[in-house]
Structure 1
Amino acid sequence: MNYQGSCHCGRVAIEVEGDLQQVMSCNCSMCQRKGALHWFVPRSALTLKTPEDAMSTYTFNKHVIKHHFCPACGIHVYGEGTDPKGNAMAAVNARALENVDLEALQVQKYDGRSK
């Protein structure tokens, strides 16, 4: 299925192709504060619909995940990193996607605080 998403003001917009059934809720210092529900997809399944320079990027801790957000409204849209096998991945914030019933999704809890 094809999903459209964006930050609140629309400055950062994405399109994602995939089967959205499960998301991850992480309790690390960053994720707990932003409240994102991460949907992991291959990076190739995500298309940025707005210019790349429209967003800001934040890294912390080991600096291996690029957290992309809108510098105008502050909404986190997605992050980028690699899976354990080295494949490029995107962690899409399901809360930033249109027409998604968040209550219908399976939420896997991840203890990022302990990592």
Structure 2
Amino acid sequence: MKRNGSCHCGAVQFTAKFPDERLVPSRCNCSICAMKGSAGVYVPLEALEVTRGRDELACYSFNTGAAKHHFCPTCDIHLFHQARSDPDKYAINAATLEGVHPYESFPEVPVFDGRRHVNDYGERRLAGCGSRPRRARSGPTG
């Protein structure tokens, strides 16, 4: 099933192809995922297409660089990240999908133990973030 998604301001939009209508979300307890608080739904890399704002999309990675977290630099909404637990998939922030309201749609979401991740050591396949430099921000806005 094809679903559309976007950030809050609409500068970045995407389409994702899911195997069926049922979305199976999960949460991760690693440092960044716990701070974001988003519920992720997974699709293969080739099943996600950015349809608007690809050049605007910002990317953040840290520590080992295995996970690439993509977000809108205008409204700062986390859209998706390349999962380090499965680098062939994107974890899409379920709240960015049209018609999905995570607190209503997923009252209970399982938590993946990202703090003790099996891929923390050894060789990894990494996909890079774009080389576009981040734009300076003028400060928080409401």
Tell me the TM-score normalized by structure 1: 0.86
Change (3 A) 1:81 1:33: closer
Give the number of aligned pairs.
113
Cα shift readout 1:61-108 (whole Å, capped 9, x = no counterpart):
210111000001000001124665xx6211111011111253344622
User: By percentage of residues, which structure has more strand?
Assistant: 1
Identical-pair percentage: 39
Q: CA RMSD in A?
A: 1.9
What is aligned with 1:5? 5
1:1-115 → structure 2 map (5 Å cutoff): 1-18=1-18, 19=20, 20-81=22-83, 88-102=88-102, 103-105=104-106, 107-115=109-117
**Residue pair 1:58, 1:67 contacting (<8 A) in 2 also:** yes
Q: Which is higher, the Rg of structure 1 or of structure 2?
A: 2
Separation in 2 of the partners of 1:101 and 1:57? 25
Match of 2:140 in 1: none
The separation in 2 between residues aligned to 1:97 and 1:49, in whole angstroms, is 14
Range with greater deviation from structure 2 (3-12 or 87-96): 87-96
Structure 2: stretches of 5+ with no match in the other structure: 118-142
Bigger relative contact order (CA 8 A; separation at least 6)? 1
- TM-score norm. by structure 2 comes to 0.71
Q: Distance in 1 between matches of 2:83 and 2:115?
A: 18
Query: Distance in 1 between the 2:97 and 2:27 partners?
Result: 16
Q: Which has the higher helix share?
A: 1
